Structure 1
Amino acid sequence: MACGALLFVALLSLIVGSWCLPENAELKDFGGPPSNTEKKGNRWAVLVAGSNEYYNYRHQADICHAYQILKKGGLKDENIIVFMYDDIAYNPENPRKGVIINKPNGRDVYKGVPKDYTGTDVNSNNFYNVILGNKSALTGGSGKVLRSGPNDHVFIYYADHGSAGLLAMPTDGDYVYAKDLIRVLKKKHASRGFKSMVLYVEACESGSMFDGILPRNLNIYATTAANPEESSYGMYCPGEDPRVAEEYGTCLGDLYSISWMEDCDISDSREETLQQQYERVRRRTNKSHVMQYGDMSRRQQFLVTYMGGYLSKRGTSTSNISSPLISRAVNQRDTKLHYFQHKLGRAPTGSQEELEARKQLLDEIAHRKHVDDSIHKIGELLFGRRESSNMLMKVWPRGQPLVDNWDCFKKLLKIYEKYCGHFSAYGMKYTRAIANMCNAGITAEKMVVASDQTCSKKPHV
């Protein structure tokens, strides 16, 4: 009887104690650091490799590596959504079938990666609707979407080619436009679809995806591999890094991406903040300017908030991560050219392989010349020879959006591609010129005339 009375008193004290919590007290998430005492929510991630073909090996390698980091951190597959064309692991050119590595002599990062959206299901429509949790609007794929709620933390990582105002997708003519991405993020925020969000973007001119258009009041923090007007760089490339086996023939990673992921590989996510990682990645990424945008208060959050809790066996020493890389990096605009040059160089003299590699290299050179010539010719027709270069290459001050009228930007870009052929990773460097045409008041009608006059009688190389 006495024992029963004591038990009752103990239970009553626990109940009363819970009633006496302050009104705004929040439950501590013991998976995070003491300073991040938040209502317990879930971690979600969307990983996107927006390219295909073997010469773009590095983008899918980056995404697979990111998946392994999140899995080590305790995220469940149901909370990790992966976009990758999946044409690399078993590609005839891959010297290790079924294996993808992200650095020389690296471990397999492909094993276990979910194939949520592959092939042509890797597209902008699915990407937007996955973020919005709009399952009914998907076209193909696993059907997995972000079912995140108001207490959840979301991490989005995108690795691909990019240019002023857009990120590429594997299908020609399909792009993730900066304005559309921001619209989707605003909509997700308005629906209380997350508590906080972090985006890491690996692409040329990736800063233009957020500069002047990502509001600071959305609880979103973003970092990019490059500022709005410069390229990002491929890393661990054959011929540039002696540790890369020649048979790979292509870059294994990207400079910004391997910097943040190799930092994760040797760090304690419970002790390192987003700001600390940004500084380490910024110092190591010595070919471009790593940028940050959005809600800067998020920088003080620990990586565990988004990537889960992992502790490196090697401790938290990051001296080798904070220093610039010694190996030579390759401009992302030139990685395809580098790939064909290397392929030709290692082909046996007089072989069919040599003939094919030489043709591929010459075709790539011809394509680059076609893009250069057509853009410059269109510029001269629209602005005159004297003013053309200044108008096409004009860069707006930092903090201003790339273009005033995004609908015009999309329309003129589509007109160019209709008459002159789709932009390649190299040709995408001219999307700023398209934006400047819109900012100068060039109409769709004028663009049609100039594009037709420039390209209608020329083959689209």
Structure 2
Amino acid sequence: MALSIFAILIMFLSFFTQIATSRLTPQNFMTNSFGTSSSKSKDGVEGTKWAVLVAGSRGFQNYRHQADICHAYQILKRGGLKDENIIVFMYDDIAYNEDNPKKGVIINSPHGEDVYNGVPKDYTGKNLNVRNLLGVILGDKKAIKGGSGKVVDSGPNDHIFIYYADHGAYGVLTMPDFEDLYADDFIKTMKKKHELGTYKSMVIYVEACEAGSIFEGLLPKEWNIYATTASNSEESSWATYCPGFDVAPPPQYDTCLGDLYSVSWMEDSETHSSQAETLEQQYMVVKKRLTEAGSEGSHEMWFGSNQISKDLRSQYMGTTPGRTTFNGAHYNHTHQIVDQHQADILFFKRKVIRAVEGSMEKERAKKELEDVLSHRNHVDSTIKAIGTSLFGGNQGFQMLTNTLRSTGQPIVDDWNCFKSMVAIYEKHCGPLSSYGKKHLRTFAKMCNAGIQQNQMAQASSLVCAGTS
């Protein structure tokens, strides 16, 4: 009897010692000590479902990204996920923006309901940043500065869903305030999460231009992570439900309401029961919808563990009603689409058209449009001039930019070189902006071609002297 009491005391002493010296939770302790977790959700899936939702942009011209994320939250909430397990990153400058015709309301489709109501504001404004995002994924509360402090405090039997919607570029996911999440840093975080053993399986959906470059040649199958992207490593993703389209927003809206990949997976999720549709089946539905957009459409890609694609969606998104027999039906119209970067221009042009002639509002709208177009011209021309200088003429530069990496290769061999090239350009020539980052492929290809940092600095200094 005394021996049993002594053994119990030793067990609890070990428990509290580990709690004090690590991020181990009581749930993890019980799992680690006794081998299994007894927690099961209503759908019979063992472990807890976690979700991290990220809208990485700001500004009303990017309305669609926060609308996508809010819509995703509503789907997960209806699926039974708890707010304590859903972590939302959004700048939160859309719902009450002066350009929003319905204050306090965000919609993700022309006849859609409000998706903003009830969405947790975990990390907004300046707290929407790379440091906090990676800290949240790792469950590292010490890394968090600002915001709600919520993290993915997951255990070895848990399932994680990460959804990101924003502008992207070659090897990066963009964030507000000229901050980028580079693919190698994101993958290092996934590796650390895997090594910690704090999840059973993970699913990642990425809506961004050139999104395939985040995972191409970088995400091993052994980590139990399955990722799909709105585009491959070389192409744009697309906005939809835009003003002037056949299926357009209400007339008072001057901005696109959604993105094609995003509304495709979410509208499919609201059509089919999550307990009757696998991740792979949803992938095929979305892929078909993107393909049917025509020659301007993008190519949905998948990376990582193909085995996880056989899982039911309910394992990550909760139990949602809908057709219990999967038949592939998903929508009844072909979407018109617009390039992500041109969606921004569409917004600024419509503001000019809508403003009263001769008014101050009209002049401000014109100035906004002129500034955006001027910046784009500056970036395009300086990148071309730098490349031409480095490669001895326009022909050599064109050969570089048209060079494609082999399938399965990361987009760059030396990530430090890549980051340095971007920093050198911005030092001499000014910020790239989400539009300018479409040229990041040029910087990556410079590194792959052996261009040195001092060569880039000299060329950038000469080309951009007095222009930034």
With the length of structure 2 as denominator, give the TM-score of the two structures: 0.88
Report what 2:137 is aligned to. Answer: 131
Instruction: Give 3-state SS (helix, strand or coil) of 1:425's partner.
Output: helix
CA deviation after TM superposition for structure 1 residue 446, in Å: 1.1
- Asked if residue 167 in structure 1 is aligned to residue 173 in structure 2, the reply is yes
197 and 266 in structure 1: CA distance in 2 versus 1, 3 angstrom threshold: same
Instruction: Give 3-state SS (helix, strand or coil) of 1:270's partner.
Output: coil
C-alpha distance in 2, partners of 1:298/1:25? Answer: 21
User: Which residue type is aligned with residue 167 of structure 2?
Assistant: H
28 and 409 in structure 1: CA distance in 2 versus 1, 3 angstrom threshold: same
C-alpha distance in 2, partners of 1:200/1:382? Answer: 37
Say whether the 8 Å CA contact 1:281–1:322 is kept in structure 2.
no
C-alpha distance in 2, partners of 1:155/1:402? Answer: 25
Report what 1:15 is aligned to. Answer: none
Q: Choose which of 441, 456, 461 in structure 1 pairs with 2:465.
A: 456
- Asked if residue 294 in structure 1 is aligned to residue 304 in structure 2, the reply is yes
CA deviation after TM superposition for structure 1 residue 348, in Å: 2.3
Q: Choose which of 233, 249, 252 in structure 1 pairs with 2:254.
A: 249
User: Which residue type is aligned with residue 346 of structure 2?
Assistant: H
C-alpha distance in 1, partners of 2:326/2:254? Answer: 32
What runs of 5+ residues in structure 1 fail to find an aligned partner?
A: 1-22
C-alpha distance in 2, partners of 1:151/1:25? Answer: 8
CA deviation after TM superposition for structure 1 residue 318, in Å: 6.3
- Asked if residue 428 in structure 1 is aligned to residue 434 in structure 2, the reply is no
Report what 2:128 is aligned to. Answer: 122
Say whether the 8 Å CA contact 2:352–2:366 is kept in structure 1.
yes
C-alpha distance in 2, partners of 1:153/1:367? Answer: 43
Instruction: Give 3-state SS (helix, strand or coil) of 1:109's partner.
Output: coil
C-alpha distance in 1, partners of 2:391/2:279? Answer: 45
Q: Choose which of 267, 272, 278 in structure 2 pairs with 1:267.
A: 272
Say whether the 8 Å CA contact 1:207–1:224 is kept in structure 2.
yes
CA deviation after TM superposition for structure 1 residue 32, in Å: 3.9
Paired residue total: 429
Report what 1:350 is aligned to. Answer: 358
Q: Choose which of 72, 75, 80 in structure 2 pairs with 1:74.
A: 80
Say whether the 8 Å CA contact 1:233–1:255 is kept in structure 2.
yes
Q: Choose which of 445, 449, 456 in structure 2 pairs with 1:440.
A: 449
Identity of aligned residues (%): 52
Say whether the 8 Å CA contact 2:187–2:218 is kept in structure 1.
yes
* Farther off after superposition, 62-71 or 363-372: 363-372
Q: Please tell me the root mean square deviation across aligned C-alpha atoms, in Å.
A: 1.9
C-alpha distance in 1, partners of 2:271/2:38? Answer: 30
- Asked if residue 231 in structure 1 is aligned to residue 236 in structure 2, the reply is yes
Instruction: Give 3-state SS (helix, strand or coil) of 2:232's partner.
Output: coil
User: Which residue type is aligned with residue 197 of structure 1?
Assistant: M
For 1:48-447, what aligned pairs fall within 5 Å after superposition?
48-172=54-178, 174-286=179-291, 287-312=297-322, 321=330, 325-385=333-393, 386-447=395-456
Say whether the 8 Å CA contact 1:208–1:227 is kept in structure 2.
yes
C-alpha distance in 1, partners of 2:129/2:303? Answer: 25
C-alpha distance in 2, partners of 1:163/1:329? Answer: 19
* Farther off after superposition, 58-67 or 329-338: 329-338
C-alpha distance in 2, partners of 1:393/1:47? Answer: 34
Say whether the 8 Å CA contact 1:31–1:304 is kept in structure 2.
no
Instruction: Give 3-state SS (helix, strand or coil) of 1:457's partner.
Output: coil
Instruction: Give 3-state SS (helix, strand or coil) of 2:409's partner.
Output: coil
User: Which residue type is aligned with residue 302 of structure 1?
Assistant: L
Instruction: Give 3-state SS (helix, strand or coil) of 1:65's partner.
Output: helix
CA deviation after TM superposition for structure 1 residue 28, in Å: 9.8
Say whether the 8 Å CA contact 1:49–1:60 is kept in structure 2.
yes
* Farther off after superposition, 352-361 or 95-104: 352-361
84 and 318 in structure 1: CA distance in 2 versus 1, 3 angstrom threshold: farther
C-alpha distance in 2, partners of 1:231/1:297? Answer: 28
User: Which residue type is aligned with residue 436 of structure 2?
Assistant: G
CA deviation after TM superposition for structure 1 residue 349, in Å: 2.4
Instruction: Give 3-state SS (helix, strand or coil) of 1:217's partner.
Output: helix
Say whether the 8 Å CA contact 1:266–1:315 is kept in structure 2.
no
Report what 1:3 is aligned to. Answer: none
C-alpha distance in 1, partners of 2:37/2:145? Answer: 40
Instruction: Give 3-state SS (helix, strand or coil) of 2:93's partner.
Output: coil
Report what 2:4 is aligned to. Answer: none
Say whether the 8 Å CA contact 1:55–1:339 is kept in structure 2.
yes
C-alpha distance in 2, partners of 1:25/1:360? Answer: 58
Say whether the 8 Å CA contact 1:266–1:316 is kept in structure 2.
no
Instruction: Give 3-state SS (helix, strand or coil) of 2:221's partner.
Output: coil
C-alpha distance in 1, partners of 2:399/2:453? Answer: 21
CA deviation after TM superposition for structure 1 residue 301, in Å: 0.2
Say whether the 8 Å CA contact 2:161–2:202 is kept in structure 1.
yes
150 and 24 in structure 1: CA distance in 2 versus 1, 3 angstrom threshold: closer
Say whether the 8 Å CA contact 1:63–1:159 is kept in structure 2.
yes
C-alpha distance in 1, partners of 2:110/2:287? Answer: 22
CA deviation after TM superposition for structure 1 residue 26, in Å: 9.6
CA deviation after TM superposition for structure 1 residue 243, in Å: 3.5
C-alpha distance in 2, partners of 1:263/1:103? Answer: 14
328 and 72 in structure 1: CA distance in 2 versus 1, 3 angstrom threshold: same
User: Which residue type is aligned with residue 312 of structure 2?
Assistant: F
* Farther off after superposition, 272-281 or 334-343: 334-343
User: Which residue type is aligned with residue 426 of structure 2?
Assistant: E
What runs of 5+ residues in structure 2 fail to find an aligned partner?
A: 1-33, 292-296
CA deviations 1:108-162 (Å, max 9, x no partner) are: 0000000000001111111111111111111111110010110000000000000
CA deviation after TM superposition for structure 1 residue 322, in Å: 5.7
